């Protein structure tokens, strides 16, 4: 029986780091078939333009994959 499972990779402040983490996770699990990836991007703002660089951005990915029992 094949079951759909998910893996959430989150908490990164730039998309390049997230891409590397996704590829690393996929390479570490060659028996898994990742058939979809959902991406999200959120940012926090402190409403003070002088502190623009204090704003944080988070990129997340939800991987949907199948594993054979």
Q: How confident is the model over 52-65, as pLDDT tens digits?
A: 555 567 788 999 99
pTM (two decimals): 0.70
Residue with tokens 């990742």: 34
pLDDT for the residue 14: 66
Neighbours of 28 (CB within 10 A): 8
Residue with tokens 């333009």: 49
Give the pLDDT score at 44.
Answer: 66
Reduced to 3 states (helix: H, G, I; strand: E, B; else coil), residue 21 is helix
Secondary structure letter of residue 28 according to DSSP: H
Collapse the DSSP code of 60 into the 3-class scheme (helix H, G, I; strand E, B; otherwise coil) and give the result.
strand
3-state secondary structure of 46: coil
């Amino acid at each position: 029986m094949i079951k759909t499972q998910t893996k959430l990779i989150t908490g990164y402040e730039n998309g390049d780091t997230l891409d590397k983490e996704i590829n690393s996770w996929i390479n570490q699990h060659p028996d898994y078939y990742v058939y979809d990836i959902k991406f999200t991007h959120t940012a926090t703002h402190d409403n003070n333009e002088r502190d623009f660089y204090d704003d944080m951005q988070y990129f997340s990915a939800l991987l949907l994959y199948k594993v054979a029992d």
